[in-house]
Amino acid sequence: MRHVQLDLSLFRDTLLAAFANRHHLHLTRKPAFRTLFNLMTWRVETPPAQQLEVVPDQSVIRCGKVKR
């Protein structure tokens, strides 16, 4: 899993700035949920020179511990 550093300076004008441990939030944050998805794209050409894009979506959103 890729970890991304959250830029907390973006929240300086919000209620998040009032938290006492705001300078350490990036060390203690944990995911609230995970998303797993697969996308496939099909381009369908139909006469006269029209195109359709078909994108079926298969996804799962999980909260809590994820079983592998």
- The full DSSP string for 29-64 is ---S-EEEEEE--EEEEETTTEEEEE--EEEEEE-S
3-state secondary structure of 10: helix
Q: How confident is the model at residue 26 (pLDDT cuts 50, 70, 90)?
A: low
Distance set, CA 6 to CA 21, 25, 26 (Å): 15, 9, 6
Q: Quick check: 29 pLDDT over 80?
A: no
Q: Quick one: pLDDT at residue 59?
A: 83
Q: Is 0.85 surpassed by the pTM of this model?
A: no
* 8 A C-beta contact, residue 36 and residue 59: yes
Q: How confident is the model at residue 28 (pLDDT cuts 50, 70, 90)?
A: confident
d(CA 33, CA 36) in angstroms, rounded, equals 10
Kindly state the average pLDDT of the residues 32-52.
85
